[in-house]
Structure 1
Amino acid sequence: MSAARYSCLGPKGSYSELAALRFSDGEGEIVLCPDFYTAVSALQKGEADFAVLPIENSIQGGVLKNLDLLEHPDAPFAVEELVLAIDHRLATLEGVSCDAIERIYSHEQAIGQCSEYLRTRFPGAKLLYTRSTAESLEKLDAHSAGIVGAHAKKQGVVLSQENIADEKRNFTRFLRLVRREEAHPKRSEKVFFCAICKHRPGSLYELLGVFARHGINLTRIESRPIRDVFGEYRFFIEIDGDIAREEVRTALKEAEAFCRQFHIIGAY
């Protein structure tokens, strides 16, 4: 029997690869992709059995571009979450002094999470985004450094001894996704859904009030602009709840009645 395939953001050494390895207990085949869109597409096309997406960081908040990948009713379905401790290190080539660094490469999330360190230690350096932290290893030279995870390894590259993130207790939440038609959740601790409220006063209040009346705790709410309708928003909401419980299913059905669009993103 072949190993399950997990698509995620590459290259080798990315945090997404680390998350995929954790999801698979080190036994899956990792399909490294150039961007998150391609990772989701690989799942949808049958080129992977699961896709792994970072969805939220404890410092930066929601990974907004990835929320957008889950906004459509036919998007993949989340069946498991993983909270990964983030440990950022400055990467340089062997023998390169920090005084010579003029450019620092990494994913925009990593640069944002190390912003205070970078302003203090490299005030004149250009900050340049890569598609992943691991990709910054390809940019290193006599005047360029990168920010990568402590787990990243490459011959000839030296990592800082300490975590350079502004907040050392830094965590990113990843979701394991399956094709929607293959999702059959029997039990869950959380339910994650997407909603567009009716465009009238009090509609969001009414939506949230459903869960208050049922005694269901909201664990997260995030808004994103609807791209083709200025001034209106799509809400991504997570609740504590077992999707098998009648009370939770009733609350979700009542909530849907207050929305123009509504679909469940995952239950895990």
Structure 2
Amino acid sequence: MPHANPHETYSYLGPAGTFTEAALAQVPDAAGKTWHAVNNVGEALEDVVAGRSVAAMIAIENSVEGGVSATQDALASIPGLRIIGEYLVPVNFVLVARPGTMLAAVKVVNAHSVAYAQCHRWLERNLPTHGHIPASSNVAAAASLLDDPAGAADAAIAPPGITAHHDLDVLATDIGDNPNAVTRFVLVSRTVPTPPATGADKTSIIAELPSDQPGALLEMLEQFATRGVNLSLIESRPIGDTLGRYRFVIDLDGHILDERVADALLGLKRFSPKVIFLGSYPRADRVRTEVTHRYGNEVFVEARDWLRGLIAGEPEG
């Protein structure tokens, strides 16, 4: 990596032209700064932990396949990280090949595994006997066609606009199975103080169950349900130490400074042997979280004040 100012360097999954770069372009503070392209999520987060970058942009969820497991596992295993923002990027793909290649001649397709999964119906319909070679990114998949003209891949799945970076023929456009597909990215920094609540916030955590017994997952979910906290994402990932042990990646509507969310996290901490707080941050869509009166901040404050009065011996009015 070049000797750039780490306070002005942002890491992202490269090379130039990826959807991750498009997400980073949405960050006002990153404009005019150094953008460092890396090969995988782990490398991007290690840049942050080591102080080589002020933050890293990584994909965490897409609307077709759900959570990005590599990101979820990295956030669970690398300490000292905090999500400070989320960004949405509409996603579609083109199929590209070396100049002169015909679609009928394509036998092997190079593509990032997430993009490949989002195009599988088109591929099965149009290239039913094709093979797949995984790539670190879709731009890298496309570039490899020119870097290795005798390589095994005949074509690659790439983002629209790839021909602005590489001399390739576009064999097909809009090959994504879902024209409304969106990938959610998060900007990750070292641990920082939590910003104020905006009213349109999301909180991300990772939690483990205390035991593999009947009702354990239900008991964990009750920590949120009884406090009116909606979960917008919950996915299980294997912890890896033995079969049957899982951690849960959870996104919830609200901010840690919201009384209902804080109370739910306290309940979760009493219940779970390990809770990782990944951050509270503004929602990308800026949609405000609506809650009924019984879960409003003032209700929790009034309940605590009532209890304080009982302990102090104040007369009940």
TM-score using structure 1 length: 0.93
Partner of 1:138: 143
In structure 1, distance between residues paired with 2:207 and 2:50 = 26
Partner of 1:247: 260
1:121-159 deviation per Cα after TM superposition (whole angstroms, max 9, x unaligned):
112222111010110122224871111111323242133
Change (3 A) 1:212 1:145: same
CA distance in 2, matches of 1:62, 1:98: 32
CA distance in 1, matches of 2:161, 2:248: 35
Gaps of 5+ in 2: 282-317
Query: d(CA) in 2 for partners of 1:26 and 1:103?
Result: 38
CA separation of 1:22 and 1:158: change in aligned 2, threshold 3 A: farther
Letter in 2 for 1:204: L
Letter in 2 for 1:193: I
* Corresponding residue SS for 2:268: helix
Residue 185 of structure 1 corresponds to which residue in structure 2?
Answer: 195
| Superposition map of 1:157-168 within 5 A | 157-160=168-171, 162-168=173-179
Matches within 5 A, 1:54-69: 54-69=59-74
More deviation, 80-89/138-147: 138-147
Task: Calculate percent identity across the aligned residue pairs.
Answer: 29
Match of 2:209, as an amino acid?
Answer: C
> Which of 104, 109, 134 lines up with 1:104 in the alignment?
109
The equivalent of 2:19 in structure 1 is 15
Q: Summarize the Cα distance change of 1:7–1:171 in structure 2 as closer, same or farther, 3 Å threshold.
A: same
Q: Which runs of 4+ in 1 moved over 6 A?
A: none
Task: Give the AA of the match of 2:15.
Answer: P
- RMSD in angstroms over aligned alpha carbons? 1.9
Cα distance between partner residues in 2 of 1:121 and 1:38: 35
1:91 aligned residue: 96
**Cα distance in structure 2, aligned partners of 1:96 and 1:183:** 53
Per the alignment, residue 39 of structure 2 pairs with: 34
Structure having the higher Rg: 2
- Aligned counterparts of 1:122 and 1:242: Cα–Cα separation in 2: 46
Decide which moves more: 19-28 or 240-249: 19-28
Structure 1 spans left out of the alignment, 5+ residues:
none
> Relative contact order (alpha carbons < 8 A, sep ≥ 6): 1 or 2 greater?
1
Q: Distance between the aligned counterparts of 1:75 and 1:112, measured in 2?
A: 31
SS in 1 for 2:133: strand
Q: As a proportion of its length, which structure holds more helix?
A: 2
Q: Deviations over 1:204-258 (max 9, x none)?
A: 2122112111111111100011101221110111111122222321211111111
Work out the CA distance in 1 between the residues paired with 2:166 and 2:276: 46
1:48 aligns to what SS in structure 2? Answer: coil
Counterpart position of 1:170? 181
Q: Quick one: distance in 2 between partners of 1:126 and 1:72?
A: 33
Distance 1:161 1:229, change over 3 A: closer
* Larger strand proportion of the pair: 1
What does residue 123 of structure 2 align with? 118
CA positional deviation for 1:26: 4.1
Q: Is the 8 A contact 1:196 1:235 kept in 2?
A: yes
